[in-house]
Structure 1
Amino acid sequence: MKVAERGNPARREWLSRQGLRLDAKPYLSGSFATHRLLEQLPVEKVPLKEVTAGHAGGLYNGPQFRRVYLNDPEHSVPFVGSKDMLVADFSALPRLRKADAETRQLSYLRLEPGMTLISCSGFNAGRRSYARPDMAGYWSSQDVIKVVPDTQRIGAGYLHAFLASRFGEALVRGTVYGSAVKHIEPHHIEDLPVPRFGDAVEKEIDELVQEAAELRAEFQADLDAATRDLFRTAGIEDLLDLRWHAEGRDLGFAQSGISATSLRALNFQPRAREILKRLSSVEHVTLGEVCAGGRLRTGKRFRRVEASPEYGVRLIGQRQSFWIRPEGRWISADQAPDDILQQDETVLVAAHGTLGENEVYGRSVMVTGSWLEHAFSQDFVRVVSGDSAFPGAYLFAFFRSEAAFRVLRSMSVGGKQQEYHTTLLREIPVPVLTEADRDRITATVRSAYKKRDEADRKEDCALAKLEEAVTSEA
C-alpha cells in the first residue's frame, strides 16, 4: 500500500488545485512532487494548452460513435485505438469505414505526423505514443487524446519527449480518475507545465525524436516489403490481397479422408484449405522439416518469482510483445526454465487466446537485437529454424502475413482458450525460393530490425537529454 511521505504530506491547497478530488491517486502518484520540481526550475514554463493548436485548441479526443469495420482498403481507413497506438507493426490494424470517418462528426479524428497520442480510457489510460510519418491518414478512436503541437512555438518531437519522460508520465497519470474504468479528459491536462530550455537543447531533442519516428516508419515499410517480396517471388501474390471475409462463411461443407488427427470442423474450413492448397502448389518444405534440429513448441509453464531489475529479467507476455516498448514485470531468471530467453531470430507466435479478429492469437514477432535481453512467457510457440538455409528472418517474413495468420487460426484446438494442433502446425508449407531470393528477403527483415533498435536508441538519447536538462537546472 502506498503512503504519503512524512516530509511531504498532502496539503489543503493541493485539493483546490485538483478540483477538490478526494481520491489518493494524484497525491501519491508523484504528480505533485513533479509539479513542485518544475515550479522550482529557473526556466520558463508554459501551460500545455499554450503550445498546442488546431481543433479544440489542439487537445481533444472525440465522440462515442458506432464503428463499422471493413476490409477493402479502397473503402476503409486504418483505425487506431488506445491499445493499437502502442504497437510497433501496424499491418494488422482494424479498418474503419471511410464514409463514416470522413464525415463532419469524425473527420477531425484523422491523425497527422507529430501528434502525441495519450490513451484516455481503460486499463492503458495515461500511456503515450508518437504519430510517426506513416500514420498520416490513420483515424483514432475517442479513447485517444490528440495533442497537436503548435510547431511555430514548440517542436513536435520535443513536446512528445517531455510528455513521454518520467516527468510527463507523473503529470499525466496524476490526472487519471475512475475505479473500474480509468479516464482522462483533455481539460485535465491542458495546464500541465511544459519547461522551455532554449532553442539549442529543444532542437537537439526534437530532431532525435523525429529521427526515431522516421526509422520506425522505415521498419514498418521494410517488413511489408519483405513479405510482399516473398509471396510475389514465390508466384502466390494473390495471397497478399486476401479478402478473407469477402469469401463468405464456411457453412455446409463436406470433408473426406478424415483421420484420428482431428475431427474439428474448424481444422478443415474451406477458406483456410484454399490457402494451404496455394502454398503447397509452389516448391515448399514443411515447417516441421525446417525446425527439425531447432525448436517448434510452446514454452514450459513456470512459477514467476519476482526480482528487482538489477537482478532479474523483464518478462514479456503476448500482448506486450507487439508493443514498441514492453512494460512487463521483472522475474528471476534463475527460478525459471531456460526457454524464457530466446536465440537470435526466434519467431514467436502468440499461441493462446480466442478467435476475435483483433486478438493477437495467431500473430507473430521476431526476437533479435536488444529484445534478446527480455524473457518471454510460455504463451508463444518458439519457432527456431534448424536449417541455415531458412533463417528466422526469412521465416518471419512468411509468418507475419495474413495468409499465415489465417492458416494458424484454422489449426486451433481447445475450448474457450485456443491453441494450435501440433501435428497440423508441423505440416504448414513454407515457400522455398532460390538461395539468392531467400538471402535478399532475410537481409530486408534484418535491416528493418536494426532500424527499430536504432530508433529506440535515439528515443532513449532524447529522454536522457531532457532528464539532464531538468536535473541540471533543479
Structure 2
Amino acid sequence: MIRSSFMVPSVRSAALRALNYSPRTELIRAAAKRRSVRLSSLVEELGPAYGTVFTRVDCTSEHGIELLSQSDMFAAEPQGRIIRRDSMAKPERHEIKRLQVLIAGAGTLGENELYGRAIIADGRLVGKYVGPDAMTLTFKEPEAPLSLFAYAFLASPTGVAAIRSTSYGTKILRFRDDLFGSLPIPLADEETIERVAVLARRCVEQRETYARELQAARRVLEDLPEMREAHAMCAERKANVAHWDGPLPTLRAWTYASSGGALGLLKRRWATQVADILKPNGLFHGLLRQRVACESPHGISLLSQRDIFLLRRVPRRIVHPGCDERALFVPRNGILVGSRGQLSEGSLFGRAELGSCFHSQTAITQDILRVLPIEEHLETAYAFMSSLVGLRLLQSTAVGTSIPIMRLDLVRDLPFPELTKKDHASVRESVKRALGARLEADATESEAIRIIEEEVLPAWLA
C-alpha cells in the first residue's frame, strides 16, 4: 500500500484520525448532496451481533449450530465450528438470513486483508451463525433493486475503501457504528440500478446452484455401500486404534489410524489407486520461494492457501520469480489441494478445489499440491477428494510435526472409487454444472462491480 497525503476542506469532529479519510471517499462524501442515500436509511439492522463477546462451548453437530469465522464467510464451501446455540445470549442476532450483507469487521488495512470486504448471503450461508467480528446488514427490503445496488457498491474497491474509513482502533481495527451508518450510497438512474440488481440476484442464484450440483455429485459417491461404511468410521475426529496388515511405507501411526479404519476398508474394496488416474508427472508441489512485492500492472497475482478456497479472493502482486511456470501458475484441468499446515478441525489441510475456477495466469503458493488427473477422471477425482472421506484420506498422508506436509507416495497410494458408467457420467455432469454456475456467479458479480466503478461513480463524481 502506497503512503499518501492529501488535504480535506474540513475535519469532522466525529473522525479525528487520518484513517477515517481517503481521497476517493471524501469525494463521495462531498458529492453526496447531489443524489445519494445514507446506508442507515436502507437497513433494518446494522450489526446487531457485532462486537458481542461470548464463550464458545463446543459440541457435536447434532446438538449444536455452525459458527463461521471471517474467512468461513467468504469460503466457497463454508465450514464453521460447531458450538452450543446457548453459548450466545441472543443467538437470533447471529443467525444468517438470505440476502444479508456480511462484512469482515476486524483486521488491518493490508491490501490483501479481508477486513472491510463484503459478500451477500446465499443459501450456502443461510442458517449458519456469525461471531462478533462480522458486521451484518439486514436491508428493510432485501429483494429491492436499491438494496442489491447498495451491496454492489459496498463490494466494489471504492466501497471497501469507504467501509474502511469508518475504522477505529490501533492494532486490530473495527468499525464505528455511527460512521458506518452515515456512509453515502451513490445513486444512478433506475435502469442502471435495475441492471446491477439483476446481476447481483443472478449471482446469488448461481452460487446456490453451484452448492446444490456439487452436493449431487458427491451424493453419488457417498451412496456407495463402502463409502457409507468409511464415512461412519472417519466422520468423527477421535483417538483411534488400528490393526494394519499391509505394507508400511512409513512408521507414523497417523497414516494408518487417523481415518478410523476407512483407509484399510477402501483399499480392500477398490483395486484402483490415485496413481492409476493421474497423468504422467501429475502430482507435484510448486517451486515458488521468493516473493518480491510490486504493483499492478507489473508482476503477477499470487494466491495464498487461504485465497485458494475463497469465493472473493484477494491476491498479492509479486514480481515473476523466474521459476518453471508449470510449478507456478494454476493448472487449468487440475485439482488444488491444501497440503501444508495444521491438522486441526476446520483447517485447510487436505481441502480440494478445481483449477478451472481460476484465471490460468494466477500464481499459487508452493504449499498447494497440484493433482492432474486424466481428463475423463477429473470431475470424479474432485468430487471424491472434496468429500469428507476424501478429506480424511488426504489428511492421512501428512508427515512432520509442527507444520505437516503431504507425502506424495502416500497420496498416489490412496484408494480411488470404482463407479459404473452411469454413476461416472452422473458425477461428471453434476460437477460440470456446478463449475458453470460458479463461474457465472463470479462473472455476474464482477460485472455488477464494474458497472459501479466504471459507469456509476465517474458520472456521479463528474
Superposition TM-score, scaled by structure 1 size = 0.87
AA paired with 2:56?
R
Partner of 1:116: 101
AA paired with 1:401?
S
Worse-matched range after superposition: 298-307 or 312-321? 298-307
Q: Select the residue among 79, 94, 104 that pairs with 2:67.
A: 79
Worse-matched range after superposition: 347-356 or 33-42? 33-42
Q: Say whether residues 1:457 and 2:443 are aligned partners.
A: yes
Partner of 1:297: 284
Q: Tell me how far 1:351 sits from its aligned partner.
A: 1.0
Partner of 2:240: 250
Q: Select the residue among 390, 396, 404 that pairs with 2:382.
A: 396
Which of structure 1's runs of 4+ aligned residues deviate more than 6 A?
none
- Cα distance per residue 1:240-271 (max 9 Å; x no partner): 5666337x4236x6666774x322222221x5
**CA 1:284/1:199 → structure 2, altered by over 3 Å: closer, same or farther?**
farther
Q: Confirm or deny: 8 A CA contact 1:120 1:185 kept in the other structure.
A: no
Partner of 1:106: 91
Q: Tell me how far 1:343 sits from its aligned partner.
A: 3.0
Q: Which structure 1 segments of 5+ residues have no match?
A: none
Worse-matched range after superposition: 153-162 or 314-323? 153-162
CA distance in structure 2 between the aligned counterparts of 1:307 and 1:170, rounded to whole angstroms:
20
Q: How does 1:68-217 map to 2 (within 5 A)?
A: 68-72=57-61, 74-90=62-78, 92-100=79-87, 105-123=90-108, 124-151=114-141, 155-217=146-208
Q: Tell me how far 1:98 sits from its aligned partner.
A: 3.7
**CA 1:258/1:464 → structure 2, altered by over 3 Å: closer, same or farther?**
closer
AA paired with 2:130?
S
Worse-matched range after superposition: 295-304 or 230-239? 230-239
CA distance in structure 1 between the aligned counterparts of 2:297 and 2:343, rounded to whole angstroms:
38
Partner of 1:436: 422
AA paired with 2:187?
R
Worse-matched range after superposition: 314-323 or 59-68? 59-68
Q: Confirm or deny: 8 A CA contact 1:320 1:328 kept in the other structure.
A: yes
Q: Select the residue among 49, 64, 88 that pairs with 2:53.
A: 64
Superposition TM-score, scaled by structure 2 size = 0.89
Q: Say whether residues 1:25 and 2:14 are aligned partners.
A: no
Q: Confirm or deny: 8 A CA contact 1:4 1:10 kept in the other structure.
A: no
CA distance in structure 2 between the aligned counterparts of 1:69 and 1:218, rounded to whole angstroms:
31
Q: Tell me how far 1:183 sits from its aligned partner.
A: 1.8
**CA 1:48/1:422 → structure 2, altered by over 3 Å: closer, same or farther?**
same
**CA 1:239/1:352 → structure 2, altered by over 3 Å: closer, same or farther?**
same
Partner of 1:9: 7
CA distance in structure 2 between the aligned counterparts of 1:49 and 1:242, rounded to whole angstroms:
50
Worse-matched range after superposition: 306-315 or 356-365? 306-315
Q: Say whether residues 1:35 and 2:26 are aligned partners.
A: yes
CA distance in structure 2 between the aligned counterparts of 1:224 and 1:71, rounded to whole angstroms:
22
**CA 1:389/1:83 → structure 2, altered by over 3 Å: closer, same or farther?**
closer
CA distance in structure 1 between the aligned counterparts of 2:230 and 2:51, rounded to whole angstroms:
36
Partner of 1:471: 458
**CA 1:394/1:372 → structure 2, altered by over 3 Å: closer, same or farther?**
farther
CA distance in structure 1 between the aligned counterparts of 2:394 and 2:335, rounded to whole angstroms:
14
Q: Confirm or deny: 8 A CA contact 2:332 2:358 kept in the other structure.
A: no
Q: Tell me how far 1:206 sits from its aligned partner.
A: 1.4
CA distance in structure 2 between the aligned counterparts of 1:35 and 1:43, rounded to whole angstroms:
14
Q: Identity of aligned pairs, percent?
A: 23
Partner of 1:381: 369
Q: Tell me how far 1:40 sits from its aligned partner.
A: 2.2
- SS of aligned partner of 1:303: coil
- Cα distance per residue 1:123-158 (max 9 Å; x no partner): 532121111133221111111011111118763321
Q: Confirm or deny: 8 A CA contact 1:350 1:364 kept in the other structure.
A: yes
Partner of 2:392: 406
Q: Confirm or deny: 8 A CA contact 1:362 1:409 kept in the other structure.
A: yes
CA distance in structure 2 between the aligned counterparts of 1:311 and 1:440, rounded to whole angstroms:
43
Q: Tell me how far 1:233 sits from its aligned partner.
A: 4.3
Partner of 1:285: 272
- May I ask how many residue pairs the two structures share in their alignment? 453
Q: Confirm or deny: 8 A CA contact 1:346 1:367 kept in the other structure.
A: yes
Q: Tell me how far 1:180 sits from its aligned partner.
A: 2.5
Q: Tell me how far 1:368 sits from its aligned partner.
A: 0.6
Q: Which structure 2 segments of 5+ residues have no match?
A: 109-113
AA paired with 1:250?
N
- Cα distance per residue 1:13-34 (max 9 Å; x no partner): 325241x33xx3233xx2x532
Partner of 1:337: 324
- SS of aligned partner of 1:145: strand
Partner of 2:111: none
- Cα distance per residue 1:28-67 (max 9 Å; x no partner): xx2x53232353267432221111114xx56651511111
Q: Tell me how far 1:363 sits from its aligned partner.
A: 0.9
Partner of 1:363: 351
Q: Tell me how far 1:105 sits from its aligned partner.
A: 1.9
CA distance in structure 1 between the aligned counterparts of 2:213 and 2:71, rounded to whole angstroms:
23
Q: Select the residue among 341, 348, 360 that pairs with 1:372.
A: 360
AA paired with 2:420?
T
AA paired with 1:341?
F
- SS of aligned partner of 1:335: coil
CA distance in structure 2 between the aligned counterparts of 1:388 and 1:135, rounded to whole angstroms:
32
Q: Confirm or deny: 8 A CA contact 1:353 1:417 kept in the other structure.
A: yes
**CA 1:275/1:186 → structure 2, altered by over 3 Å: closer, same or farther?**
farther
**CA 1:320/1:242 → structure 2, altered by over 3 Å: closer, same or farther?**
farther
CA distance in structure 2 between the aligned counterparts of 1:401 and 1:110, rounded to whole angstroms:
26
CA distance in structure 1 between the aligned counterparts of 2:287 and 2:279, rounded to whole angstroms:
19
Q: Tell me how far 1:191 sits from its aligned partner.
A: 0.7
CA distance in structure 2 between the aligned counterparts of 1:394 and 1:45, rounded to whole angstroms:
50
AA paired with 2:254?
L
Q: Tell me how far 1:344 sits from its aligned partner.
A: 2.4
Q: Confirm or deny: 8 A CA contact 1:61 1:186 kept in the other structure.
A: no
**CA 1:223/1:257 → structure 2, altered by over 3 Å: closer, same or farther?**
closer
Q: Confirm or deny: 8 A CA contact 2:104 2:133 kept in the other structure.
A: yes
